[in-house]
Every structure is written in C-alpha cells, then in structure tokens.
C-alpha cells in the first residue's frame, strides 16, 4: 500500500520497509562520500614568480557537489551535523524534524535523488524505479 502522505518532515519508519531501506542505503552512500571527500587547499609555486618562493593556493580535492549546493543554500551549514544526520538516517534512527533540521534537508535531498536521479562525477545515476513508483 502506498503512503502518499509521507513527506521529508517525517521519519523513515513511516515508510514501507523496502522504501525506507533505499533511503537508508542512499544516506550511507552520501555519508561515505562526504566523509571521504573534503575541501583541501594546498600551496603551489605561482605560474609567474613575483618574488622568491611565490606561492598560490590551489584546490587539491573538493567536497561533493551536492554538499556544496547545500552549503551555499543554507547559512552556517555544518559538515559535522551533516555527517551526524546522514548516519542517523542510514541507521533508520532519524527523528521527526522541523523544516530547518539537517534530517529534513537530507531526507529531501535523498528523495529527490531517488525519484529524479542525479549527477555523480560527470555520470548520471538514474532514478530508483521502485521509489519513483511508490511516490507517483
């Protein structure tokens, strides 16, 4: 039976078990991606040396694109709270959330990714057909 009334404000336990497991798996994936990919800036020799040992900053690695979007969208968006939220969702221990909570934001992101698909490092990851039909 479809639960068309579920919204990201609600915990995963209000979803059918299989649909909730897709959310949990995606949260685990996002957690690992955020944990393993972090903005790292290094100093490299400047292309045009203006003085002895002139260096410039260069990006060595970046945060995942989806995290950069959320970081730009929300004032004071925190990595540690993001990791905590994704871990809660992955373990299906998330709580009812208000609009401004991290759990709500991540359940919203995961719902969009599972229903619409998303881009990952230049490759399109298609929607999850079971989740898409559940919410259709």
Q: Is residue 75 part of a domain?
A: yes
pTM confidence score: 0.84
More confident residue, 100 or 122: 122
Q: Is residue 110 part of a domain?
A: yes
Counting the structural domains of the chain, the total is 1
Cα-flanking dihedrals φ and ψ of residue 57, to 5°? -85, 145
Q: Is residue 57 part of a domain?
A: no
Q: Which residues of 21-39 are buried (b: 16+ CB within 10 A; e: fewer)?
A: ebbbebbebbbebbeeeee
pLDDT, tens only, 108-122: 999 999 999 999 988
pLDDT, tens only, 11-37: 898 999 999 999 999 999 999 999 999
The two three-digit tokens of residue 88, written as one number: 């809660």
Q: Is residue 48 part of a domain?
A: no
| Whether residue 93 has pLDDT greater than 90 | no
| Whether residue 48 has pLDDT greater than 60 | yes
Which residue range(s) make up the domain with 29? 12-38+64-135
Residues of the chain above pLDDT 90, percent = 74
Q: Is residue 119 part of a domain?
A: yes
């Amino acid at each position: 039976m479809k639960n068309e009334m579920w919204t990201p404000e609600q915990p995963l336990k209000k979803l059918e078990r299989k649909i909730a497991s897709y959310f949990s798996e995606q949260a685990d994936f996002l957690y690992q991606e955020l944990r393993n990919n972090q903005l790292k800036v290094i100093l490299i020799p400047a292309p045009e040396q203006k003085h002895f040992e002139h260096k410039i900053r260069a990006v060595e690695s970046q945060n995942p694109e989806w995290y950069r979007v959320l970081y730009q969208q929300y004032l004071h968006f925190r990595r540690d709270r993001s990791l905590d939220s994704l871990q809660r969702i992955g373990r299906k221990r998330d709580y009812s959330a208000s609009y401004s909570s991290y759990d709500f934001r991540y359940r919203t992101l995961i719902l969009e990714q599972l229903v619409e698909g998303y881009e990952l490092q230049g490759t399109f990851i298609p929607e999850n057909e079971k989740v898409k039909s559940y919410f259709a």
